[in-house]
Amino acid sequence: MPLLLSTHRFFASVAALVVGLGISSAAARAEESNPYAAAVLADRPISFHRCDETEGKYAQDATGNEHRGALKNVNGGEPSAHPALGTCFAFNGKSSRVQIPAHSDYKVGKGDFSVEFWFNCHDPMNSRGEILKFKGEGKDFGILKPLGNSNFIAVARPDRPFQAQTDPFSIRVWHHAVYVRRGGVDHWYLDGSLTGTSTGNSLVMDMNADILIGADHHGDPNRVARDNCWNGLIDELAIYASALTPEQVEAHYKAAQAK
């Protein structure tokens, strides 16, 4: 029988294989047979953190590009939204983060790029939480739930903060979100469907400082801004140097639900 029989236990064992060893060929084959991982990897992300680790110091990069992230006060092992997604990372809203080292692979200039992830927010609606933060040399880009009575995920740009945003989401419920910049237009997808756009994004995205998942910072990625950290769960975070199409977004969303 194919590995689609997989249970959370199976994915945890794959994660255990990966921890500390890099992506072994056996693990790579497992990723190819996992419907969600296969769908994401087929669209060639720069990095893809499956967040399946339950121990160790790093979140491995399933692309093989070796953009592993350092785990800081993150707990693993909790089941994700669907069995095909394995387990996820839990963030405490104060100090948890995954820190991905700066790399030239992330320099996309004014070009297209995408950020895809699954999230489950545990915070009351009036607090802020950062899913992803890049800030350095005058550049500032964030994906977050803004402060205030805001139950949506937005993109923060220095020129037009919180302009592009998703439809409202529910607290303590899993959602799939994809941010896409195509031709200078921001797009937000929630649970497979386009929910919002905003024009005029010409921000130079040469991400030449560490990227944080689950936390914000004020200029030094080694020192988090505690009030802005994510409280809840994040899983399957992929960054692309391309604009995912609506069809690709929908296909990923459906692949996660494959039995």
- Given the rule CB under 5 A, which residues bind Ca ion? 50-52, 80, 85-86, 235
Closer to Ca ion by Cβ: residue 209 or 233: 233
Q: For the CB of residue 53, give the shortest distance to Ca ion in the complex, in Å.
A: 9
Q: How far is the CB of 247 from Ca ion (least distance, A)?
A: 23
CA 106 vs CA 132, 155, 198, 209, 210: distances in Å: 14, 17, 22, 10, 10
Tokens 């030449």 sit on residue: 208
Strand pairing report for 97-100 and 185-190:
unpaired
* Three-state DSSP class for residue 242: coil
Least distance to Ca ion, CB of residue 5, Å: 18
Burial class (CB in 10 A: 0-12, 13-18, 19+), 17: middle
Closest residue to Ca ion using C-beta atoms? 86
What's the min distance (Å) between Cβ of 49 and Ca ion?
8
SS3 112: coil
Comparison of 15 and 143: residue with beta carbon closer to Ca ion = 15
Report how far residue 169's alpha carbon sits from residue 164's, in angstroms, rounded to the nearest whole number.
15
50 or 252: CB nearest Ca ion: 50
CA–CA dist 182, 77 (Å, integer): 35
- Give 85 or 229: the residue with its C-beta nearer to Ca ion: 85
Report, in Å, the least distance between residue 198 CB and Ca ion. 29
- The nearer residue to Ca ion, 51 or 207, going by C-beta atoms, is 51
